[in-house]
Amino acid sequence: MAFVVPKESFAGKVFPVTIGTEIQETFGGENTLPFHSFEGEIPNRPLIAYEIQDIPPEDWPETVREVYSEVSDDPAKWAKYCVDELKAKAIALRLIGTHPDQKDLSADDAVKVVKEVLEAVKVPLIILGSNHVDKDSEVLVKVAEVAKDRNCIIGKAQEANYKTIAAAAMANGHKLIAMSELDINLSKQLNILITQMGFEKERLITDPMCSALGYGLEYTYSVMERIRLAALAQNDPVMQPPMLADVGMYVWKIKETQASEEDLPEWGSLQERGILWEAVTTASLLLAGAELIIMRHPKAVELVERFIDEMMG
Amino acid sequence: MLVIGEKLSIIAKRVREAMMNKDKGPIQEIAKAQYEAGAGMIDANIGPAEDGGEEIMEWMVTTIQEAVPLPVCLDTTNYKAIEAGLKVHNNEYGLPMINSTSNDPERFPMLELAAKYGCYIIALTVGKGGLPADEEERAAIAAEIMARAMEYGVPLEHLYLDPLVLQIATTQDQAIKVIRAVEVFKQLNEPPMKTLVGLSNISNGCPKDIRPILNKYFFLMLLNAGLDAAIADPAEIKEAMEEKPLFDAVVQGQEIEDKEKMKIIKKTIDVIEGNTLYAHSYLEM
């Protein structure tokens, strides 16, 4: 008797999420494990967004800062460069300058930046705060308004501030990132709380919190994997939103992407090392189930896109 | 079912203060309330008690037994404090219990005491290393402890095997493994081994309003698996026993009149069995 490859099929399905207006992108929507196209339907590719920010990226390592040295003084120019030159399918604008420990820019400053970026590019926009619980609820409420009906993703809502941010996203027709700190049960709890406000679970994106290779990647991997299994195998509707891996900011602050070749010659080329670190971290999290990725280095993005091509067959 | 009242624990502020001030009032009041709610034994958890443990345990045992005609479960890692408590324990109310030994060599002397004083002893099925992964690892550890108990001269009917209940909020997959461990433990000997759990740890870290729900239904699942004893809130156990007919009906797939209760029971079983992912608001889904 011929050998028949056993196939696993699942009752659950990840919600597809479409963002943008003039140019739209959709991610999620699969009813099978990552890249298991032989077992189910994977209608959409994972989506990679290029990360830009409201202030020049002085704390990014040289390897990735130099790529944007001509444009990073102006967020609109930076966004346009990513779209026109690097063929970015989506932009993730991080309003890091609003953080009280950074430049403490006001919500109005942030509004101005968001407006300019929205005018400069037509691809979908992800608008991220500075991860400061209080400041984010102030800033994200205002930027959600100015981006009204542009179908952006707003984030990140956390346990301590989800009410105001979710309400703003809901009122202005945006999608929302719900972030918890590497705990699957808290991740589910936050999604429940947000949906209890009347926010549709089909408009959510779960961020279980990212980490870089060598810095706790296995925790993120395991939480993502279990969330995806809950969505598919347990058919748990609260766990069916697609997942975000916010890779760039975690990878480009670790030693391995910054230590010079003079100090650590045995580690090899600093440039290659950083790019590979971002690509490998991302590829791992794609295998764990992430559908939306935020990255920084175009060469790393290129590697990951090739990886996705091969995996999607 | 032996219910061991859990309320006299150093973790509770009121108990800690009473212990420090040697104030019998609160201790005896709590002991009586647990006796009246159906406790068959009173746990006296004095913590590690490195300083003056002997005196504290003596005082606790006599204070409790002045108030209620029950044996005491001596709960500390301090070997000398246990022995001091055993010496003053009034065995007319029943044999005392040592809480606890395990597969950690540091805890072996507790078996010596159990043999010397002919009392009951709880055996936590954990070793010196990490926590056991599943019911099989727990059973393997249990078998080692049983062999050691016999070496020390502790009769197996004096040994209560404890699979170690973990928090559902952080280690959900362990809940069902603990239930299975109780089933497996029973099969390790003929007559079957006695089993015991520290019940309320299942809901540690959960919101206040759902803690009793998780405790009660987890208890009933354990009871149906053959559990013999629980360190628990006797009032909660009483409530659980009152609800047992309803619970068993739901488990058997019958419809019960109280639809709300049926939903709560089903959702809680699903969370304990790992069919749905735990979240603090799991009942509201």
Query: pLDDT, tens digit, for every residue of A144-186?
Result: 999 999 999 999 999 999 999 999 999 999 999 999 999 999 9
Report CB contact under 8 Å: A196, B284: yes
How far does B156 lie from chain A, in Å, by closest CA? 40
How high is the pLDDT of residue B72? 98
Report CB contact under 8 Å: A189, B276: no
Number of domains into which chain A is organized: 1
Q: In this model, does residue A208 exceed pLDDT 80? A: yes
As given in the structure block, the two tokens for residue B274 are: 């790992």
| CATH number of the domain residue B51 falls in | 3.20.20.20
The arithmetic mean of pLDDT across residues A210-221, rounded, is 97
Could you give the percent of chain B with pLDDT greater than 90? 96
Tally of CB atoms within 10 A around B128 = 10
Chain A segment 9-28 residues within 8 A of B by beta carbon are none
A193 chain-B contacts, CB cut-off 8 A: 281
A226 chain-B contacts, CB cut-off 8 A: 277
Number of domains into which chain B is organized: 1
A239 chain-B contacts, CB cut-off 8 A: 277
- Is residue A2 in a domain? no
| CATH number of the domain residue A50 falls in | 3.20.20.20
As given in the structure block, the two tokens for residue A83 are: 């779209």
Q: What are the tens digits of pLDDT across the range B123-137?
A: 999 998 789 999 999
What's the pLDDT band for A252 if we cut at 50, 70, 90? very high
Report CB contact under 8 Å: A236, B169: no
- Residues A241/A14, Cβ–Cβ less than 8 Å: yes
Q: In this model, does residue A212 exceed pLDDT 90? A: yes
Could you give the percent of chain A with pLDDT greater than 70? 100
The arithmetic mean of pLDDT across residues A200-219, rounded, is 97
Q: What are the tens digits of pLDDT across the range A261-308?
A: 999 999 999 999 999 999 999 999 999 999 999 999 999 999 999 999
Going by C-alpha positions, the residue among B71, B3, B41 that lies closest to residue B230 is B3
As given in the structure block, the two tokens for residue A258 are: 């910054």
The arithmetic mean of pLDDT across residues A76-95, rounded, is 98
- Is residue A11 in a domain? no
Tell me the residue range of the domain where B146 lies. 2-284
Report CB contact under 8 Å: A185, B284: no
Per residue of chain B (285 residues), give pLDDT as tens: 999 999 999 999 999 999 999 999 999 999 999 999 999 999 999 999 888 999 999 999 999 999 999 999 999 999 999 999 999 999 999 999 999 999 999 999 999 999 999 999 999 999 987 899 999 999 999 999 999 999 999 999 999 999 999 999 999 999 999 999 999 999 999 999 999 999 999 999 999 999 999 999 999 999 999 999 999 999 999 999 999 999 999 999 999 999 999 999 999 999 999 999 999 999 998
CA B68 to chain CA centroid, nearest Å: 20
- Please name the residue ranges forming H helices in chain B: 13-21, 24-36, 53-67, 79-88, 109-117, 135-152, 174-186, 211-225, 234-251, 259-273
Going by C-alpha positions, the residue among A117, A108, A106 that lies closest to residue A52 is A117
Exposure string for A60-70, b = 16+ CB within 10 A, e = fewer: bbebbbebbee
A206 chain-B contacts, CB cut-off 8 A: none
Report CB contact under 8 Å: A192, B172: no
B170 chain-A contacts, CB cut-off 8 A: 183, 185
- Is residue A119 in a domain? yes
Q: What sign has the CA pseudo-torsion A106, A110, A113, A115?
A: negative
How high is the pLDDT of residue A263? 95
Q: Report yes or no: A188 at the B interface, CB cutoff 8 Å.
A: yes
Tell me the residue range of the domain where A261 lies. 17-312
Q: In this model, does residue A1 exceed pLDDT 80? A: no
ipTM, 2 dp: 0.88
